[in-house]
Amino acid sequence: MKTYNQLIHEYKKIFYDKGLSPEVVKAFIYELCNEKNINLYMDMDKEVNEDIFIKFNEGIERLMNNEPMNYVLGYSYFYGYKMIVNKDVLIPRPETEELVGLILSQYDTYYKGQSADLCDVGTGSGAIGIALKKEEDNLNVYASDISKEALEVAKRNCINNECSITYLLGSMLDPYIENNIKVDILVSNPPYIKTTEDVDPSVYDFEPHVALFGGEDGLRFYREIFEKAPLILNDKAMMFFEMGYDQKERLSALAKSYFPMADVEVFKDINGKDRMLMISIR
Ligand code: GLN
């Protein structure tokens, strides 16, 4: 059996020759070792554990096919919480962790110590709703998705993270309207990529399109939410959305047209890209 070092070197070269990022190889082995409580850096010159070797061989082909590593591993981390991911859900992005951070800081400003009802529309893996509830127990969290399969993943993630959330199946705000649910805070990372936009093959070929594409102008689901939001929002309310880096002007104008009395603000992500929209009605 080869050592970790040899295995990494061998496959790094293969990846390099195929024009793929060689760093993926070590990162993958590192994760597999972590699962078995093996410290890769201490054991570099030891023989590869047999179970790890089997998992490595199963996964490495998929990685060579450009499949995102989190799907191969079957999990991802979001705001420090482990989340199961599979082809039915988008892999949670670091930008979305920033959205959670923004919501938590705004909650501290406007609701500190008070309970508030919040909904996560299009929850996917459940990441946003779960992280918010784990970080702020005063929130009463609802989360919904149009995909039954995604909702199953979200429910599993909720249980695994010992969290408490009410899940609803349905398109955008419909399940809240049907169940007469009113909220103080609406959160959504809707599909916002333009149908015509070029998307990296590792995203396009593997991630669920229902979670990615937001119609010709990318704004279809914001429009849908803005239109029906008054039916589920309490008098004083806030809305938070993730958005595409090039949507600031169009999306702010759209928000202003639906909510002329509200404060509309766009925040940048850590890369300096316009990424989060906040609408506050008070
Ligand atoms: N940020 C994602 C991407 O670039 C898109 C997420 C979304 O449409 N909500 O792949």
What's the mean per-residue pLDDT of the chain?
97
For residue 46, give every residue at least 6 positions away whose Cβ sits within 8 Å of its Cβ, in sequence order, or none.
3, 4
Tell me the backbone φ, ψ of residue 116, rounded to 5 degrees: -145, 145
Q: Whole-prediction pTM value?
A: 0.95
* Best of 78, 89, 90 for a ligand 1 pocket test (most atoms within 8 Å of beta carbon): 90
Dump pLDDT digits (tens) for 225-273. Answer: 999 999 999 999 999 999 999 999 999 999 999 999 999 999 999 999 9
Binding site membership of 68 for ligand 1 (Cβ less than 6 Å): no
Binding site membership of 206 for ligand 1 (Cβ less than 6 Å): no
CB 150 within 8 A of CB 84: no
Over residues 17-38, mean pLDDT: 96
Binding site membership of 193 for ligand 1 (Cβ less than 6 Å): yes
Reported confidence tier of residue 145, pLDDT bands at 50, 70, 90: very high
Which strand (E) or helix (H) includes residue 21? Answer: none
Dump pLDDT digits (tens) for 41-100. Answer: 999 999 999 999 999 999 999 999 999 999 999 999 999 999 999 999 999 999 999 999
Kindly tell me if the per-residue pLDDT of 113 is higher than 90: no
Q: Report the separation in Å between the CA atom of 127 and the middle of ligand 1, taken as the mean of its atom positions.
A: 14
Binding site membership of 247 for ligand 1 (Cβ less than 6 Å): no
Percent helix, strand, coil in the chain, to 5, is 45, 20, 35
Binding site membership of 62 for ligand 1 (Cβ less than 6 Å): no
Residue with the smallest CA separation from ligand 1 atom 7 is: 191
Dump pLDDT digits (tens) for 198-222. Answer: 999 999 999 999 999 999 999 999 9
DSSP 8-state symbol, 235: E
Question: How far, CA to CA in Å, does 57 sit from each of 25, 33, 66, 69, 100?
Answer: 11, 14, 15, 14, 36
For helices 50-64 and 23-35, angle between their N-to-C axes, nearest 10 degrees: 140
Strand pairing of 233-242 and 274-281?
antiparallel
Closest CA to 224 of 241, 207, 244: 241
Binding site membership of 122 for ligand 1 (Cβ less than 6 Å): no
Closest CA to 38 of 54, 24, 51: 51
